[in-house]
Amino acid sequence: MTEHVHIFALGGLDEDGKNLTVVQIDDDIFVLDAGVKYPDKSTPGIDYIMADYAYLKEHKSQIKAYIITHGHDDQLGALPYLVKDCPAPIYCTDVTRIFIESFMNHVNSKINLDFHIVNPTGVEKIGGRTVHFFATCHNMPRSFGVAIETSGGNIVYTGDFIVENNSFKNFSYDSNAVGRIAEKQTLVLMSESTFATRAGYTTPNHRLTPHIQNIFENEAKGRIFISLFSTNAFALAEIIKLAVSYNRKICAYDKETLYLFDRLKIVEECAIPRNNFLDYEDINRVKDTDILVVMMGFGGALYRKMNKFAKGHSATRIQFKPTDTFIVAAPPSSHFEVLSAQTLDNLFRTGINVISISKKAYLSMHPSEEDLKSMISLFRPKYYVPIKGSYRLMIANAMNAFNMGVNLSHNNIFVLENGLVLDINGEAARLLPGSQSVTTGTILIDGMNQTSSSNAVLSERLKLGEDGVVVVSVAINTAQHKMVSQPVVDLFGVTCLKDPKTVSRVVSAELTTILNELLLGNFNKYTAESTIIERLNKLLKREIGKEPLVMPIITNVA
């Protein structure tokens, strides 16, 4: 009997992060990755952003597994919230489990998780169905892709990967495993689109060593500092290898870096040999030319850490010296390019030797055009679905497949949007009409354990950040239908050409007029607050040309 397949994404399409792909085979649901994305200037006061998972809550009894391909937040960060409402086993490697637990601690989640630890290459029975895993090369160790068996063939989800045959053991692409899986019919292949417009292979441009080896060998006149994103364990493995080769002792810059060292030591290539480890308490007891200081952190937080170091505000005893060399091996994303520019400027002001590695020369470990074509050539799928990336990049991924001459065309390449459902039933595949799409959206993680999806919250915060806030407070007596105090008007962060005292007087007079009108009838506090906000917004727009957040505080003393 032919099985009925639905494939759709709740997040991750035409965006950067919050990846969450759903494969539904008859009544069985498999969730492939469940991540978050980080906020930008349009989401002030928000810690994380995740996909709306209302569909999963409605069908939680059908979820057979969460399959997490590797240990990055954009693949696993939604788990603390998803599993709380939609419990199911989590299939991942031992390294990925470490990062899931670390994220759980970070957001103060106390729920118990049902882990099923798998090898990067292996076979498991999940919900009575055979699922294959194949090791991939990514900057997080023991990453894998997934192939789920169905009656119509395998549904293959590559995860993040590059084609690399000379990596460390725990960062290896298992071409033999891919070949074995590809011997059977591939129904659907899903591959990411991050570098789909880049010609050639990503390797060897993902390797840090060629950019910094000469610094270790010849250039450095004293200590070497190097900054890395916490998500780039592959670079850490390269640095450890270099330190051992050039007899440098490795010192963790701070407790966060030391914690990551400890977490990753189960990975052979990321375990620092005892003779090469240096406690920062002993840093002044070792010759400068024998020291390598590693600074790790997540996203913009790493650049803020570098900024403090440049300004001499280190949280540890480690302060810069004129003979130091500082290597910035963490090319910034678009979310914090301004911060990175400021940080680099401050580093150069110290007078130390600063080397910043360009993201054009040093690529993150995602598949370029030839990597993607290699996967397509091996699996020769019946249907191809580009995932993960902006719409422009997904289209480029689709066009790469279209131009390969392997029977992929506009009839069997599907570019989805979040919520749009690919329906495969027997020999036919189609996109369901928009009326049958799955509800999608975003959930804003505000504080470690609170979620909100309110656009009003964001709107208010954006106003607060851009135009400031006006707080108006007054005491009234509803029984006597009168005000019992003069309004108090406070302006916070409101900048304008007019004298603030003049603005306050105008606002106070308008508020008095509004309240005197409202107190003539049956007074309702909530209606009054809405009326005050609406009328004061119009007044402020007219008086100062801005729309600060208006916050009325009405106290009834009756």
| Least confidently predicted of 40-44, 151-155, 193-197 | 40-44
Residues 135-141 have a mean pLDDT of: 95
Cα–Cα distance measured from residue 214 to residue 222, given in angstroms and rounded to the nearest whole number: 14
Residues 194-204 have a mean pLDDT of: 94
Closest CA to 225 of 146, 283, 152: 283
**Has residue 218 got a pLDDT over 70?**
yes
Cα–Cα distance measured from residue 77 to residue 60, given in angstroms and rounded to the nearest whole number: 19
Structure tokens at 173: 């692409």
| Least confidently predicted of 290-294, 450-454, 550-554 | 450-454
Residues 19-46 have a mean pLDDT of: 86
**Has residue 451 got a pLDDT over 60?**
no
**Structural contact between residues 537 and 456, judged by C-beta atoms closer than 8 angstroms:** no
pTM: 0.80
With cut-offs at 50, 70 and 90, classify the pLDDT of residue 463.
Answer: low
**Has residue 454 got a pLDDT over 70?**
no
| Least confidently predicted of 187-201, 218-232, 426-440, 461-475 | 461-475
Strand partners, 8: 22
402 DSSP assignment: H
Say which residues have a Cβ less than 8 Å from residue 373's Cβ, sequence separation at least 6.
400, 401, 404
Cα–Cα distance measured from residue 436 to residue 366, given in angstroms and rounded to the nearest whole number: 33
pLDDT in tens, 483-529: 888 899 988 777 776 788 888 889 999 999 999 888 888 888 878 88
Q: Residue 227 — left, alpha, or beta (φ > 0 → left; ψ -120 to 50 → alpha)?
A: beta
Q: Average pLDDT over the chain, rounded to whole? A: 89
Count how many residues are written for the chain.
558
pLDDT in tens, 50-107: 999 999 999 999 999 999 999 999 999 999 999 999 999 999 999 999 999 988 887 8
HEC letters along 91-154:
EECHHHHHHHHHHHHHCCCCCCCCEEECCCCEEEEECCEEEEEEEEECCCCCEEEEEEEECCEE
| Other Cβ atoms closer than 10 A to 554 | 21
CA angle 207/208/211 to nearest 5° reads: 120
Cα 102 to Cα 37, 75, 256, distances in angstroms: 17, 14, 12
pLDDT in tens, 374-423: 999 999 999 999 999 899 999 999 999 999 988 899 999 999 999 999 99
Say which residues have a Cβ less than 8 Å from residue 157's Cβ, sequence separation at least 6.
21, 23, 32, 69, 145, 146, 147, 148, 190
In this predicted structure, what is the pLDDT of residue 471? 87
**Structural contact between residues 485 and 554, judged by C-beta atoms closer than 8 angstroms:** no
In this predicted structure, what is the pLDDT of residue 449? 47
Residues 352-360 have a mean pLDDT of: 90
**Has residue 143 got a pLDDT over 90?**
yes
In this predicted structure, what is the pLDDT of residue 27? 94
In this predicted structure, what is the pLDDT of residue 458? 53
Structure tokens at 265: 């030591």
**Has residue 450 got a pLDDT over 50?**
no
**Structural contact between residues 4 and 428, judged by C-beta atoms closer than 8 angstroms:** no
**Structural contact between residues 238 and 209, judged by C-beta atoms closer than 8 angstroms:** yes
In this predicted structure, what is the pLDDT of residue 484? 87
Strand partners, 344: none
